[in-house]
């Protein structure tokens, strides 16, 4: 198993699902884990879209632990809707609202920017660090009814590649993980028909588990991954995203 002994890791969106499992896996690997989430009881209560709150959380972590070695930008939300609703060839009212578009971009994309910009100076001073960004298989292939979510996850891939160039010379690697259909608590509450469709589209014929993604993060955070930079690691069972 890859080890993170003594490394200080900050994980956003760590209250449940992939974030919570990543925190557990990192701790088992010897890391000192700092969890950020807007939910109460999930570590530091931090809104990743608030630069002031994030800056304070970074300062608190550095004061307490002396450094930050790993940042996992995992926090994200969904607000799905079609761009324009169409039924029987006729345009219906509604569609994706500007508020829902903005909310997803704010958390999923701007939040990654805010957290990375706040943590990067500490890693630059250390001359070392790992930044791991949560993209998605839909950021690579698109998905019906997810204009906002796909836009955020595709943009994260672009930012990852820019930061890999900018921060690589400073001893910091930046990579993205693109999960497919993962059986989080939220996903498993979906109707059986939808779950069956997800499994059918996945060649390994099962949903992923949060630990599948957590172990991908663990590898990329480890010393063994020191020459991987600017990569997008798909953790999706070979999924084919359909319409």
Catalytic residues: 149
Q: What are phi and psi of 85, to 5 degrees?
A: -80, 130
The C-alpha atoms of residue 91 and residue 93 are separated, in whole angstroms, by 7
The CA distance from 156 to 162, in Å, is 10
CA proximity to 235, closest of 178, 193, 169: 178
Enumerate residues 6+ apart whose C-beta is below 8 A from 236. 137, 178, 179, 180, 181, 202, 208
Partners of 177 in beta bridges: 134, 233
């Amino acid at each position: 198993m890859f080890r993170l002994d003594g490394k200080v890791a900050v994980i956003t969106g760590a209250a449940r699902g992939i974030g919570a499992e990543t925190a557990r896996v990192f701790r088992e690997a010897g890391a000192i884990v700092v969890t950020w989430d807007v939910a109460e009881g999930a570590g530091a209560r931090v809104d990743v879209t608030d630069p002031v709150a994030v800056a304070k959380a970074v300062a608190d972590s550095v004061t307490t632990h002396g450094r930050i070695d790993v940042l996992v930008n995992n926090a994200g939300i969904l607000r799905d809707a079609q761009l324009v609703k169409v039924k029987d060839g006729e345009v219906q009212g509604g569609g994706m609202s500007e508020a829902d578009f903005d909310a997803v971009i704010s958390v999923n994309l701007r939040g990654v920017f805010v957290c990375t910009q706040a943590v990067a100076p500490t890693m630059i001073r250390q001359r070392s660090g790992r930044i791991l960004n949560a993209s998605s298989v839909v950021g690579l292939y698109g998905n019906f009814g997810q204009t906002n979510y796909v836009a955020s996850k595709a943009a994260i891939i672009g930012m990852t590649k820019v930061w890999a160039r900018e921060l690589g010379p400073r001893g910091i690697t930046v990579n993205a993980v693109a999960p497919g259909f993962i059986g989080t608590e939220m996903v498993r509450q979906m109707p059986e028909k939808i779950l069956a469709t997800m499994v059918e589209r996945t060649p390994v014929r099962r949903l992923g588990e949060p630990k599948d993604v957590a172990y991908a993060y663990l590898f990329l955070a480890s010393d063994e991954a020191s020459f991987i930079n600017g990569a997008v690691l798909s953790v999706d069972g070979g999924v084919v995203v359909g319409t």
